[in-house]
């Protein structure tokens, strides 16, 4: 008699576990309802959800296992894809950008004269040195006797030239027009 009582208690516990599992699966099936959701493969239409909720426990259990397997396969595929991208990025180096060329300086002589040409839209300055006449953008702060250098940076069509004046007032570089 005691054995029957134990088996009835165990049977009752197993039945409660089954009911709880069925309730969990029912909630899972209801979460698959596809009302207004755009991701079709992950959700079910209304009629399929209603059919599964009325189906026997074994069919619900089979659906739950199959759907869990499908989601695990999708997650595994996404994980493999992400791992592939990470490995690709780790072993394939990024292209190395060449270091920009260093600017070169060339003597432009001693300043003999500075003339400012101001217009409505811009200010340009003509600087006369012992080696030539340079027209630069902006107002130049220099006096007669200051030294000047031509600074060139870049290559080809990206070559920029500037007149650098080593002035006691304000040493600065001015772009050559």
- pLDDT tens column, 92-145: 877 888 887 888 899 888 989 888 888 778 888 899 999 889 999 888 888 888
Q: Are residues 80 and 128 in the same domain?
A: no
Across 62-159, the runs of DSSP E, i.e. the strands, are 104-118, 123-129, 133-137, 147-153
Q: Which residues contact 101 (CB under 8 A, 6 or more apart)?
A: 153, 154, 155
Inter-helix orientation angle 46-54/2-31, to 10°: 170
Q: Is residue 96 included in any domain, yes or no? A: no
Q: Is residue 8 included in any domain, yes or no? A: yes
Chain center to CA of 69: 33
Q: Is residue 98 included in any domain, yes or no? A: no
The pLDDT confidence band at residue 36, using thresholds 50, 70 and 90, is: low
For residue 161 the two structure tokens come to 């030239």
Q: Are residues 87 and 121 in the same domain?
A: no
- Number of domains within the chain: 2
Q: In the block, which residue shows the tokens 């069509």?
A: 157
Q: Is residue 73 included in any domain, yes or no? A: yes
Cα angle 92, 93, 98 (rounded to 5 degrees) comes to 150
Q: Are residues 116 and 58 in the same domain?
A: no
Q: Is residue 134 included in any domain, yes or no? A: yes
3-state secondary structure of 31: helix
What is the extent of the structural domain holding 126? 104-175
Whether the per-residue pLDDT at 1 is higher than 50: the answer is no
């Amino acid at each position: 008699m005691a054995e029957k009582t134990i088996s009835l208690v165990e049977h009752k516990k197993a039945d409660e576990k089954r009911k709880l599992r069925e309730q969990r699966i029912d909630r899972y099936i209801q979460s698959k309802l596809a009302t207004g959701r755009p991701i079709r493969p992950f959700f079910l239409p209304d009629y399929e959800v209603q059919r599964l909720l009325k189906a026997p426990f074994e069919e619900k259990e089979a659906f739950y296992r199959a759907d869990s397997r499908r989601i695990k396969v999708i997650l595994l595929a996404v994980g493999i894809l992400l791992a592939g991208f990470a490995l690709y990025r780790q072993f394939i180096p990024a292209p190395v950008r060449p270091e920009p060329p260093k600017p070169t300086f060339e003597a432009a002589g001693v300043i003999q004269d500075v003339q400012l040409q101001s217009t409505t839209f811009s200010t340009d300055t003509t600087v006369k040195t012992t080696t030539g006449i340079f027209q630069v953008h902006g107002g130049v702060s220099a006096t007669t006797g200051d030294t000047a250098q031509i600074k060139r940076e870049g290559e080809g069509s990206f070559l920029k030239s500037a007149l650098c004046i080593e002035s006691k007032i304000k040493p600065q570089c001015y772009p050559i027009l």
